[in-house]
Amino acid sequence: MKWLTNLFTSTLGRKLLMALTGLFLITFLAVHLAGNLQLLKDDGGKSFNIYAEFMSTNALIQTVSKVNFALILIHVIWAILLSRKNRAARGSSYAVNNKSSHWTSRNMGILGTIVLVFITIHLKDFWAQMHYGSVPTVNYDGTEVRDLASIVAIWFDKAWYVALYVFCMFAIAFHLWHGFSSAFQTLGLNHVKYNPVINFVGRAFAIIVPALFALIPIMMFLN
């Protein structure tokens, strides 16, 4: 079994874990966005509440949710392990350094930290509220459903909260700008035929998904 520990403690193995967890979290973002977009429906939050109730009670979704938390933790812990190793490898810094690389690729740690802080606030305000807090209920055709949309509306009525949300979406966008295509390179998928597709989809995803996420609080604030 030594080979397995060797694999996951090697720099390449650690990067593999970063790439795989990163790609899973990318798919999670897409699913999460699909749910959130229902807040923009003009139905008093009905669609969103039914969706939220389903997501927080369905056994399969709850299992995937636990896996998701575990993968976020792995992504963070391995990022810290790699950053420490990388910093140690540099040793002393240069007096003059013209960095020949993109800003996002050099600052994934800072961007990731902003995203982590955002996730923590986000979980406290919505996820923890839904699972452990008190949420008013609403009745749809005889079914009692928790009214998470009303909690969201309270938060998205505060300008500073909307501004913070939008700022964090920029951090996610920049994180994805590098992370999406970088994950494929780490997995060894670098091919003249597929690189343009990966880069295009990655950049489109990095712009469109955070933009749509940010659109929801902005629209709710303006309404």
**Contact footprint for other proteins (CB under 8 A):** 1-3, 6-7, 10-16, 82, 85-86, 88-102, 105-106, 108, 178, 181-182, 185-190
Assess contact for 182 and 128: CB atoms under 8 A. Answer: no
In the numeric block, which tokens belong to residue 57? 């009670």
Smallest gap from residue 111 Cβ to other proteins (A)? 12
Smallest gap from residue 194 Cβ to other proteins (A)? 11
Smallest gap from residue 113 Cβ to other proteins (A)? 15
Q: Which is nearer to other proteins, 84 or 131 (CB)?
A: 84
Q: Which is nearer to other proteins, 11 or 143 (CB)?
A: 11
Q: Residue 39 carries which DSSP code?
A: G
Q: Which is nearer to other proteins, 88 or 159 (CB)?
A: 88
Assess contact for 121 and 11: CB atoms under 8 A. Answer: no
Instruction: Report the C-alpha gap between 147 and 49 in whole angstroms.
Output: 6
Angle between helices 159-186 and 195-222 (to 10 degrees): 170
Mapped onto helix, strand or coil, the DSSP state of residue 65 is helix
In the numeric block, which tokens belong to residue 150? 């009303």
In the numeric block, which tokens belong to residue 37? 């977009």
Q: Which is nearer to other proteins, 180 or 213 (CB)?
A: 180
Q: Which residues contact 14 (CB under 8 A, 6 or more apart)?
A: 8, 78, 81, 82
Smallest gap from residue 89 Cβ to other proteins (A)? 4
Smallest gap from residue 223 Cβ to other proteins (A)? 41
Q: Which is nearer to other proteins, 4 or 59 (CB)?
A: 4
